[in-house]
Structure 1
Amino acid sequence: MSDDWERPEGSWASSAARRRNMQAIRSRDTKPEKLIRRLVHANGLRYRVAAKPLPDLRRTADMVFRAAKVAVFIDGCYWHGCPEHYVAPKTNPGYWSDKVARNMARDRDTDQRLTEAGWLVLRFWEHSSAEECAAEISRLVTERRISQSNKGVQG
């Protein structure tokens, strides 16, 4: 680490190298997301990518099926506190543990708000089988579409 590196104001980065590393982490279009999207698309379903399910909620889902009111999130093990794979950081543990805890709380709040608005929220861990995730997404979106069309016929 260079001695002349100055942390930008408000930055959480402990070094220039750490800052570059953290800035390179993708918030969308991760490998697990792209694989699941490709499989769901191959099943004939169409969706919005990185879209807001609710216009007044400043949160985006990885896949949004508007007509069926299904929001899909593919959560990263580190950033969302996977009970199976999350490992507490050794560098700046207070900041990062708090950050993950805030992410988890925001996830629960998002789930609650969407559910209250009539949405089905599906969450998968990045380590989950893409094939199983895609099959479940396809099944549930199709079921919701059929259910909604049946309600329209009856009502």
Structure 2
Amino acid sequence: MSKMIIGFSGSANSGKTKALHRLISILENTQVISDQDLVKVISYKGKNIGISTGGDYKDHVTQSLSTLVPECDIVITACRTYGGTHDAIDAWQNISTNITYISCPYFSPQKVRNKDIPKNELEVFYEAKARMLLSYLDSLIS
């Protein structure tokens, strides 16, 4: 399997970071209690999986990919729906043919933007997105 970058895209404040925190919690079998952006490498099914939860700014995505790509088989990074963060990911495609860019759209209901969904219901939403990413990871690894 060649190296792969998965861009987990969505607009600002759409829940990308919380969903990726949840994915980290699932993979590490721990509880991530943080609203901060994280860059982690996790061994999963014999592969090094890199996860970067910060994806609102091109510089952050560029820096986290520079750290994660050399050590990881698969890198998942948050990114916006277009623009500089996608440019940061696309730059790796130009540098190395072993890296594939895949966009995982983050569909966010309008109510999330209006913040009128109870927190416990939002947690279910983040969990579902994390489980979707986990299922996708499993399909890549098997």
Point out the structure with the larger strand share.
Answer: 2
> What's the TM-score bracket when you normalise by the shorter of the two chains?
0.3 to 0.5
